[in-house]
């Protein structure tokens, strides 16, 4: 972990030419460091928090670099909780680089996510809110942005803290019973304890159930386009993207490796994979691509398996898939425009396919509706606590297991010490999500995924 006592600085706007660039410096003495290169110096040094001061920035030799606006944030009233200055200069990368060069004479360059890490350590927010800052920056669809904003605002944190407080209260009852077991005092109400733990377990299960779907909001719905060669996968892939991304030819086996692209559909991110056509092949390269297709089908949240409309008949059965894949598969009859009888035959098949045409107006509407129906979350769920982070889901799963174990210990009369031990494990799992207990390695892993300047 880097030293958290050094003043740090970095460009906090995207690199490149723009109307303005903004440089942030944070840490003890930040105002004084900027004042050495700023005129009027005294006005900056005496400024109150959140005051914007216009002036000129010069280098260490006194040569003017730019006219700038300096916004002063006095501790603890800043993003990081430290003394902080944000310098807005003209958006020429040469200017911002020269300003940074001078600041770096007394400060060091911020590491990825270090401003947010300092905000976390200074109590500006907890770990779930800190992680959500990065999610908000990287959101690729409306729902992901909304869910991240709710986490930044602390909706999830408050709900987790309520569950944590409930676990702590139940644990204290067990520990009091242990401490005063030899005293002539009334025993604790076992029915009340059972109801408390059951209620907490129910809340945790509800949060986990919604969170498994919430992960799709943050990470996107992984959709694998599969089928035989020339079944129309690449054409469908291009139709989703509304551009010619994949090569389409009448020759089978054109796609040897997979293509990956993301699109937004009514607030959701779809991560699409165009795969090699599935068939028996003696070509070593094509065979490797087909094996990769099977792997992507296993990893996908949804498989769209295409069957060419020109090959269907009333006796057609769906292709045999690996065990467990059928449940997440939508069967498509592709190129529906090429077979005038496709609409009559499809209802007679032994499965329930969706007719798709990438050239007919509205030819993909039923497919869009089917995808959204399968994954659609109620709109109001975005206003409730929602876990979207895989790390959080894993910790919450451990919390649920511990609460189940505590309830079982209570039912079997194993003793208060066993119940208390399980409740402590449940608490630790939630504390790991919130960052109440954590390790330097975990923090470094989390914040290394942030951009520099955040």
- Express each pLDDT in 77-131 by its tens digit: 999 999 999 999 999 999 999 999 999 999 999 998 899 999 998 989 888 888 8
What is the per-residue pLDDT for 379? 60
Q: Helix or strand or coil: residue 338?
A: helix
What is the per-residue pLDDT for 346? 66
pTM for the full model?
0.69
Considering the chain, what is the average pLDDT of its residues? 85
What is the per-residue pLDDT for 188? 75
> What distances in angstroms separate CA 438 from CA 126, 308, 428, one per listed residue?
11, 53, 10
Domains of the chain: residue spans and CATH:
8-124 (3.30.1360.120), 132-216+385-435 (1.20.120.430), 220-357 (3.40.50.300)
pLDDT at 248 over 60: no
pLDDT at 285 over 60: yes
Does residue 271 contact residue 223 with C-beta atoms inside 8 Å? Answer: yes
Task: Please tell me the distance from the alpha carbon of residue 34 to that of residue 102, in angstroms, as a whole number.
Answer: 9
Tokens of 69: 């606006």
Residue 183: pLDDT band by 50, 70, 90 thresholds? low
Could you report the per-residue pLDDT of 379-423, keeping only the tens digit for each?
Answer: 656 667 778 788 889 999 999 999 999 999 999 888 889 999 999
Angle between helices 142-152 and 127-138 (to 10 degrees): 150
What is the average per-residue pLDDT within 214-241? 87
Range name among 12-21, 158-167, 351-360 with the lowest pLDDT average: 351-360
What is the per-residue pLDDT for 282? 63
- 278 or 329: which carries more pLDDT confidence? 329
Could you report the per-residue pLDDT of 187-224, keeping only the tens digit for each?
Answer: 678 888 999 999 999 999 988 988 877 778 878 899 99
Beta 84-90 vs 51-58: how paired, if at all? unpaired
> How many CB atoms are located within 10 Å of the residue 26 CB?
27
What is the per-residue pLDDT for 108? 94
What is the per-residue pLDDT for 447? 74
What is the per-residue pLDDT for 421? 93
Question: Residue 453: which region, alpha, beta or left (left: phi > 0; alpha: psi -120 to 50)?
Answer: left
Segment of 18-32, 199-213, 429-443 carrying the highest mean pLDDT: 18-32
């Amino acid at each position: 972990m880097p030293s958290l006592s050094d003043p740090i600085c970095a460009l906090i706007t995207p690199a490149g030419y723009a109307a303005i660039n903004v440089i942030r410096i944070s840490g003890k003495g930040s105002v004084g460091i900027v004042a050495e290169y700023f005129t009027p110096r005294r006005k900056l040094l005496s400024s109150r928090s959140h005051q914007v001061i216009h002036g000129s920035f010069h280098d260490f030799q006194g040569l003017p670099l730019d006219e700038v606006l300096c916004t002063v944030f006095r501790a603890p009233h800043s993003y990081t909780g430290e003394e902080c200055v944000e310098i807005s200069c003209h958006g020429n990368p040469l200017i911002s680089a020269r300003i940074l060069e001078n600041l770096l004479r007394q400060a060091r360059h911020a590491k990825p996510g270090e401003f947010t890490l300092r905000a976390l350590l200074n109590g500006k927010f907890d770990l779930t809110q800190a992680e959500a800052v990065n999610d908000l920056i990287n959101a690729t669809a409306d729902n992901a942005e909304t869910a991240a904003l709710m986490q930044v605002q602390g909706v999830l944190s408050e709900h987790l803290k309520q569950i944590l407080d409930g676990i702590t209260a139940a644990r204290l009852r067990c520990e009091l019973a242990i401490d005063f077991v030899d005293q002539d005092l009334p025993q604790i109400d076992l029915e009340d304890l059972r109801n408390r733990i059951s209620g907490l377990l129910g809340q945790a299960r509800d949060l986990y159930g919604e969170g498994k779907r919430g992960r799709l909001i943050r990470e996107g719905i992984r959709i694998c386009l599969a089928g035989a060669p020339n079944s129309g996968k690449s054409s469908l892939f291009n139709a989703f993207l509304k551009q010619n991304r994949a090569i389409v030819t009448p020759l089978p086996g054109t796609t040897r490796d997979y293509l990956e692209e993301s699109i937004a559909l009514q607030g959701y991110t779809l991560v699409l994979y165009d795969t090699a056509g599935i068939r028996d092949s003696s070509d070593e390269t094509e065979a490797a691509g087909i094996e990769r297709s099977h792997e992507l089908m296993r990893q996908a949240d949804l498989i769209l398996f295409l069957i060419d409309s020109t090959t269907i008949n009333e006796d057609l059965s769906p292709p045999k898939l690996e065990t467990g894949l059928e449940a997440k598969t939508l069967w498509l009859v592709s190129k529906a425009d090429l077979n005038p009888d496709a609409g009559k035959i499809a209802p007679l098949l032994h499965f329930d396919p969706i007719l798709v045409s990438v050239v007919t107006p509205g030819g993909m509407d039923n497919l869009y509706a089917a995808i959204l129906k399968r994954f659609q979350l109620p709109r109001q769920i975005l206003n409730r606590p929602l876990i979207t982070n895989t790390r959080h889901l894993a910790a919450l799963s451990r919390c649920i297991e511990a609460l189940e174990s505590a309830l079982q210990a209570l039912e079997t009369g194993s003793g208060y010490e066993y119940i208390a031990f399980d409740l402590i494990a449940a608490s630790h799992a939630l504390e790991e999500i919130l960052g109440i207990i954590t390790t330097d390695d975990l923090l470094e892993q989390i914040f290394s995924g942030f951009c520099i300047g955040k």
